[in-house]
């Protein structure tokens, strides 16, 4: 599949170097029947200027790869985006992103290309993945004219699926961190949040294998069944 098929007609103006990099990005691979351990995963966390999917911006990106059943700590991904126009507000300050950090950031098109090269053809894990997926999709469209087609799996859904006896109503990342006794260096920093989410994912993958779910495709299918049951139980 040609990557240029992902480009929209109204793609932003990019220089030749960026266009060449864009053209050489691999297309995402569908989820397969390899084992969870054999699958390369990318765990993603975005820090944004707020929670409005149509107005707020991606400010920083953190990601780590899970390869051969372990987190690749030697090659994490971290970028702060160049957002000099971003006004300071509590949503920005909680991430430790002051005006100087945003002014010194990487140009969004370059940072996003770096991210997509890091992701490659791998599926993506994130906590509350629909938010990260939609924010990343809009950023890619605006900065690169690129349509995001990678599979995203929500760790916030995996955790209750695999731990039905754990009662944590509307549980957030902090709740599951505490539930499994994980340590996090600096919450609300993209790289630290990505790493602790990856640690949580590895625990959940171990649980999945014990519950006869040992491929990415099986995991996705069980998640779909879990969502349907959840909707039915709420009478929707």
Q: Which pLDDT tens digit goes with each residue over 53-109?
A: 999 999 999 999 999 999 999 999 999 999 998 887 776 766 677 888 899 999 999
Residue 232 is predicted with a pLDDT of: 86
Residue 11 is predicted with a pLDDT of: 61
Q: What dihedral do alpha carbons 28, 151, 20, 76 form, nearest 10°? A: -110
To the nearest whole number, what is the mean pLDDT of the chain? 91
Comparing CA positions, the residue from 194, 76, 24, 72 lying closest to residue 124 is: 194
Per the model's pLDDT, the better-predicted residue between 35 and 167 turns out to be 35
Average pLDDT over residues 101-118: 96
Radius of gyration of the chain (CA): 18
Average pLDDT over residues 153-162: 97
Structural domains of the chain, with CATH: 35-234 (3.30.420.10)
End-to-end CA distance of the chain: 38
Comparing CA positions, the residue from 80, 79, 87 lying closest to residue 56 is: 87
CB 185 within 8 A of CB 76: no
Check pLDDT > 90 for residue 169: no
Give the model confidence (pLDDT) of 119-133 as tens digits.
999 999 999 999 999
Average pLDDT over residues 204-222: 97
Residue 152 CB burial class (10 angstroms; 0-12, 13-18, ≥19)? middle
Task: Report d(CA 141, CA 58) in Å as an integer.
Answer: 13
pLDDT band with cut points at 50, 70 and 90 for residue 9: very low
Residue 93 is predicted with a pLDDT of: 63
In the chain, the DSSP E strands lie at 41-48, 58-67, 70-71, 77-80, 124-126, 152-154
pLDDT band with cut points at 50, 70 and 90 for residue 2: low
98: left (phi over 0), alpha (psi -120 to 50) or beta: beta
Task: Report d(CA 72, CA 29) in Å as an integer.
Answer: 20
Per the model's pLDDT, the better-predicted residue between 55 and 184 turns out to be 55
pLDDT band with cut points at 50, 70 and 90 for residue 176: very high
Residue 188 is predicted with a pLDDT of: 65
């Amino acid at each position: 599949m040609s990557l240029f098929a992902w480009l929209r007609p109204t793609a932003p103006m990019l220089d030749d170097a960026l266009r060449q990099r864009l053209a050489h990005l691999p297309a995402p691979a569908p989820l397969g029947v390899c084992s969870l351990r054999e699958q390369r995963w990318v765990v993603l966390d975005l820090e944004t200027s707020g929670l409005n999917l149509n107005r707020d911006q991606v400010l920083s990106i953190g990601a780590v790869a899970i390869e051969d059943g372990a987190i690749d700590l030697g090659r994490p991904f971290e970028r702060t985006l160049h957002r000099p126009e971003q006004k300071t507000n509590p949503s920005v300050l909680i991430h430790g992103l002051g005006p100087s950090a945003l002014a010194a950031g990487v140009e969004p098109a370059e940072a996003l290309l770096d991210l997509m090269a890091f992701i490659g053809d791998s599926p993506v894990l994130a906590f509350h993945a629909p938010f990260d997926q939609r924010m990343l999709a809009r950023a890619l469209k605006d900065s690169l004219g690129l349509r995001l087609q990678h599979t995203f799996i929500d760790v916030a859904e995996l955790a209750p699926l695999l731990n039905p006896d754990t009662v944590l109503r509307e549980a957030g990342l902090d709740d599951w961190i505490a539930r499994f006794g994980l340590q996090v260096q600096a919450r609300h920093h993209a790289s630290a949040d990505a790493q602790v989410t990856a640690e949580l994912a590895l625990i959940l993958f171990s649980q999945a294998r014990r519950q006869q779910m040992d491929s990415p495709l099986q995991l996705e299918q069980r998640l779909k069944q879990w969502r349907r049951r959840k909707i039915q139980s709420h009478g929707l």
